[in-house]
Structure 1
Amino acid sequence: MPSGRVHEAVNLTVLGAGALAYLAQGGSPEEPRALAFALAYLAGTYLLSPDLDLAEKGVRAGRRWGVLRLLWRPYGWLFRHRGLSHTWVLGPLTRLAYLGGVVWVLAFPLGRLLAYLGVDWDLRPPSWPKEALGWGLLGYYLSQWLHLLADGIWPDHDLRQLRRPR
């Protein structure tokens, strides 16, 4: 299977080619939809890789989080490598849900403490167009799918597993 560097090289090559095509068509890099796509794609490539299920083993995906990689250990305990975390739809969704849960568990008590101390803490997202969220999700999922393709996991992988007799 490809190393983390190979996965990153594949993803960055595709992103670069897509960016060149987008700019050649007259697209602006400051367009919120393009920015959301690129940022989510890069986050999916570097921070939310499907290999986070191996975070306790010191893989690149976990090391990028620094000390916070400890937060990903339970994710590795929940999902075996190349199991549900390496599926086409649910795998990326599990990482987003897990990250959202971790952020909520950490931010909720901190917000309460800051409110108690009288600090106004506003976490509302910036006012981007609503379609930027869809483009961000597309960028994130595309980065995940390229990782799976490099691992040799095709879109029908989940269906073949369901049809296999037990």
Structure 2
Amino acid sequence: MARVPSGRVHNLINIAAYSVLAAATLVASRLEAVVVTPAQGLWFTLAYAAGTFLLSPDLDLAEGRVDSKRHWGVLGVLWVPYGMLFSHRGWSHTWLVGPLTRLLYVALIVALVLGLLTYLVPGLTLPTLPEPLSWKVAAPLLVGYYLSQWLHLIADGVRPDHGARRVRRK
């Protein structure tokens, strides 16, 4: 098996790709070839950064030392069960399902924390998401997050049909 980049190299690849993409988007915007609002740029950037530094596919190794887990600080321990659920380079390293598993895992943690808070502090008013969530917000979030994940997988040499090939073999 080919040697895969370290977490630090993955981060540098994503930072370099982001820099090129940001510069190209700026030029395309100046030429009026694309229209990107500051808010869309911010949502994309936040999701891309979260996908690069906090929600890396390598969280399936969360029982050990993983950059993404360390970036969570003391909350990094929350990723240990995720690492136990997913074998390294298994479903967590697929192109569509893998990133989705990490989003669902974060949603589960948030739901548990919010449920605990509302149980412990009756009458607590929690902020809500705007309804419906606009595609002008959702699209940049999803594109930024998934692009950061796909760059990691490309650097690891994982093909887009990775998960489908594993299922067919079994």
Q: What TM-score, normalized to structure 2?
A: 0.86
Give the superposed CA RMSD. 2.0
Q: What does 1:9-158 correspond to in 2, within 5 Å?
A: 9-26=12-29, 31-114=38-121, 116=122, 118-119=123-124, 121-125=125-129, 129-158=134-163
Q: TM-score, normalised by structure 1?
A: 0.88
Extract unaligned runs of 5+ from structure 2.
Answer: none
The structural deviation recorded for 1:6 is: 0.6
Q: How many residues align?
A: 162
Runs (5+) with no aligned partner, structure 1: none
Deviation of the 1:30 alpha carbon = 5.9
Q: Cα deviations across residues 115-151 of structure 1 (Å, max 9, x unaligned)?
A: x2x54x3322368743211111111000000000000
Superposed CA deviations along residues 38-91 of structure 1, whole A, max 9, x for unmatched, are 110000000000011111201111111111111111101100110100000000
Contact (CA 8 Å) 2:29, 2:36: kept in 1 or not? no
> Match of 2:82, as an amino acid?
Y
Q: Aligned AA for 2:18?
A: L
